[in-house]
Amino acid sequence: MTEQALRHLGKVSSLPASPSEAELERVPNPHPDTNYIARFSQPEFTSLCPVTGQPDFAHLVIDYVPDQWLVESKSLKLYFSSFRNHQAFHEACTVEVGKTLVELLSPRWFRICGYWYPRGGMPIDVFWQSGELPKDVWLPDPGVAHYRGRG
């Protein structure tokens, strides 16, 4: 990955076949001297159950306090799409996304919230974070309603 030659932005890009084949890219943070939250919401994240092969769906919310780098959003969308044929449990997918982004960006603070839709009648929510939130940063609520069944 070279910051000077972005492979996806402004170009036609194919969907990667798997997360390991996806190429996440980063760009310089225009405000490395300032603590702020950058948020990505992916309300249609999809992967496959490793046991049944059936699709699983989640709403992911990623918040991070950047240091020197920002994730380039088109490469992030392609990375998310690479999970569509990836078989893994909810916990594995959520934490893998988080750890991959932390390794790429080295943010001051990072959090991922995975709100998975019910499988077998029970939703599974997965939360992972890295680092300590700087004291001068306002962290908004993830904004995802908890699952409510009928009744």
What phi and psi, each to the nearest 5 degrees, are found at residue 87? -95, 115
* Residue positions annotated with a catalytic role: 49, 56
The DSSP string of 104-127 is HH--SEEEEEEEEPPBTTB--EEE
CA 18 to mean position of chain CA atoms: 15
Residue 61: half-sphere exposure toward Cβ, Cα within 13 Å: 12
